[in-house]
Chains A and B, each alone.
Chain A
């Protein structure tokens, strides 16, 4: 069983739709949770990171973490064609305010937003 599971999709939505992307994990030591966006032929770009359970909002993006269920989500409101990319969840272990470096990624979800 993989430590991090992510539905690879692909996911195709119309412009303006609300997109929900999800990951589950099995390692209780994960403390830091991140979402990366990766365009074709590019490296991953950090979108959001969270440390605790709950919601964190940044513009059209909301990250949600439920440590009790080992489940994280990324919501994209008013999706745009420019949001079309692969979205990767990533997690790392840590104690207190320091993470331990290694990121464990999900498989990535391919998202297409069509006009």
Chain B
């Protein structure tokens, strides 16, 4: 049984560019959340998607947007990249009724130069 799959694994972008990260949730999971983890810090909540809608959002600017597809997979888009956006981006999935039982992917390491 595959867990949470994220792509790509690593990415290098230039300041000002746009990036799209992808996530496939664990089988049986319908809720997807995205987190940003800076080096040496704990993950910070970006937003959560359920039934193709954004349900909760953390303290991130509108440059961060997302989407959930009918098959529950999700994308995270970041526009106008800043050097400070360099981080590990983690996707987590769970069944809706067990929201604390998240399964995390291995993340996408984004470097903005």
Contact = CB atoms under 8 A, between A and B. Distances in A.
Interface in A21-65: 32, 34, 36, 41-46, 49
Contact count band on A: 20 to 34
A108 B42 contact: yes
A45 B33 CA distance: 15
Interface of A: 4, 6, 8, 32, 34, 36, 41-46, 49, 88, 90, 92, 94, 98-108
Given A101-B31, A105-B43, A46 B99 contact: no
Contacts of B105: 43
What 7 A-B pairs are tightest by C-beta distance, nearest first?
A: A105-B42, A43-B104, A99-B99, A32-B100, A99-B100, A102-B45, A43-B106
Contacts of B102: 46, 103
B106 A49 contact: no
B107 interface: yes
Contacts of B103: 46
Nearest to A91: B100
Given A32-B100, A108-B42, A101 B48 contact: yes
